[in-house]
Chain A
Amino acid sequence: MSEQRTPMESTPPRHADEPLLSIDDLQVHFHTEEGTVEALDGVSLTIGRDEVLGVIGESGCGKSVTALSTMGLLQSPPAEIVGGSITYDGTELLDLSDEELNDIRGDEITMIYQDPMSSLNPVLTIGQQVKEPLLAHRDVTEEAAHERAVEMLESVGLADAERLMTEYPDALSGGMRQRVVIAMALITEPKLLIADEPTTALDVTIQAQIMDLLTDLREEFEMSVLFISHDLAVISEIADRIGVMYAGNVVEQCEMRTLFESPLHPYTRKLAESIPSIEDESDRLPTIEGTVPELIDPPSGCRFAGRCPQYIGEVCDTVEPPLETPSAIDDDDQKVACHLYDDQREAGPPWPVGDEATSDADGGARTGVDGS
């Protein structure tokens, strides 16, 4: 393992200007007794170096499946990667064998999970578990690993780290366990951290602490993060860019600020509307009518068509909209999958787009994003 690592570290990254991770048209099916679930239907996402990409979407939209595919952790069967590619730092992950993948995951790509109560092994001490990735991937002595683990526990804000090393997970609270999980994930100084709803199982005060910690550590370790959540408020704290997923598709991808200022997709607009506001005095929060479509034999065309308030007829039901930058928008990082923005169509969307929208919101919005 160490022989393989040395050239990677000494030479500059092979594709410095390319994204660190790019997921391209990924299609994942689950073969179940009821039928084939088309869980991911052409998901494309990119994560740049030292960038945090948030992925948001409701339960079952394929956020976690995307993360697990990247780690090569989908259970197959029932899961099957039908098509697409996942390129990490110039390497096609889907072509790697399990052993080759084991060299990357846990070392360069690590993951933290939703529920800290169950993501630690109850029969190993904290120390044994935090050391594990180092011992598995690096040629280090037991003592060196121990020292590094103590350092790591301290840098995730755990007091009395030396004693915690010999403690079992059941002596720790949820917030402390999540800190341990983060320490485990960062001990190999990964280039990419995948955080799958890391705060969902925690209560709100601890959620805030963990988010602060992640924000700090992400700068300290200069890593990219794929941050998955269903909570727009949480994601907006950390993400630079965001991908919005709906029923196995990425429906919109843009800068974090843009999502609040000028969302394009009808689903994203509805999401942004449903954030409670202090000024707003209405009794009920806006909701999106209808339910997510069954992913067994999903509707052809746009999967949001059945609930879409801007439904424009046959094209929505028959043609799957591609994820593209609309011609009215000059920022080619904002992409949307919706027929409203089709150039062939005469009428545009019923809301201002592009320059109109930004000047509409507040003049300094764009510079605000770039300058911050």
Chain B
Amino acid sequence: MTTDTHHDTTDDARTDGGTATATDDAQSGTASDTGPATGRIARTKVVFMRVMQNRFAVFGLIVVALLLFTALFADFIAPYEPAAQNYEALKQPPSLDHPFGTDQYGRDVFSRVVYGSRYAVFLGVVIVGIEMALGVTLGLVAGYYGGLVESMIMRVVDIALSMPALVLALAIAGMLGGGLFPLIVAVSLVGWRGFARLVRGDVKSVMEEEYIDSAEAAGLSDFRTITRYVLPNAASSIIVYATLTIPTVILWSAGLSFLGMGVQPPKPEWGAILAAGRGEIDSAWWIATFPGLAIMVTVIGFNGLGDGLRDALDPRQVR
């Protein structure tokens, strides 16, 4: 097989536009020695290359990788137990022993922040997963079937969207009594609405494409048409939206925990640590500052990655 995979097929004049050309450019520009790359591998590579060309996205990728690493290996990274109190060392400023200082019970803030990353990752993934499952399903059904089904689903979404998010989340979390599970329910019920709207809109535009007609003309079942033709073509915006929703979810979880409606102290959730350190901000700034910074860096990181992914996955955007 020749190395030039896109040009050796001699049939007739090339009339194709953006995507194929972009493939060629990316390959000749950055990966000339990687040999023949066709199909799926080439595409993944193109997306990866485009992400890597965006500094903000690279920063985001590093932050996210670091966050995952920290969450996974928290047991090895953290020098102390997150809940271990030490009355010998109360409210100590950052030092070599305690890089982020200690809090009013002598707990190591660094260890608590490290373990807090687990909550961030867990909540981010689980809540976005629930939001996606709910929102994508409803959006797909509404967009694909249209008509009365669509009207009904979208009216429910509209009604849900008419409620202020914070009030809704607080009300749900308060009703369920606070804690991890109520937090998940509350934040999920806020976020699915956006997914439903986005997916329904995307599905609508995908439905206009001729390949959907051709799938129906081929006698495929609705399920097969949706899973192989509709969903994959709407996937890139779902991926981008999900990536951009994770920081929001992390922020919301931390916010609710900060307000006392989410994860309860002494569990080392960033929002909860922040809330506990708030009262000491004059005498021990480090207790509240470091979890706050962790939240900030994580949110910015995910946003960078999401932005980069959006640029890389959107063929319509001229760069």
Contact = CB atoms under 8 A, between A and B. Distances in A.
B247 to A, nearest CB: 27
A106 interface: yes
B13 A125 contact: no
Interface stretch (B91-99, B167-175, B227-235, B283-291): B227-235
B224 to A, nearest CB: 7
B220 A132 contact: yes
B318 interface: no
B232 A111 contact: no
B282 interface: no
B3 interface: no
Contacts of B40: 125
A18 interface: no
Nearest to B219: A106
Interface string A97-114: 000011111110011011
Given A118-B210, A171-B20, A106 B15 contact: no
Contact of A113 (B16, B213, B233): B213
- Counting chain A residues whose Cβ lies within 8 A of the other chain, the interface size class is 35 or more
A160 B232 CA distance: 27
13 contacts: A104-B219, A117-B16, A118-B211, A119-B210, A121-B211, A121-B215, A123-B232, A136-B221, A158-B9, A158-B11, A171-B5, A173-B12, A203-B13
Interface stretch (A19-27, A83-91, A175-183, A357-365): A175-183
A105 B13 CA distance: 32
Contacts of B5: 163, 167, 171
Nearest to A177: B16
A106 B10 contact: no
Interface of B: 1, 5-6, 8-16, 19-20, 23, 38-40, 43, 147, 209-211, 213-221, 224, 228-229, 232-233, 235
B12 A176 contact: yes
Nearest to A168: B39
Contacts of B217: 71, 73, 105-106, 110-111
Given A73-B213, A103-B219, A123-B235, 8 more contacts: A106-B219, A110-B218, A111-B214, A114-B210, A124-B228, A171-B6, A173-B12, A203-B15
Contacts of B23: 170-171
A145 interface: no
Contact of B211 (A119, A176, A179): A119
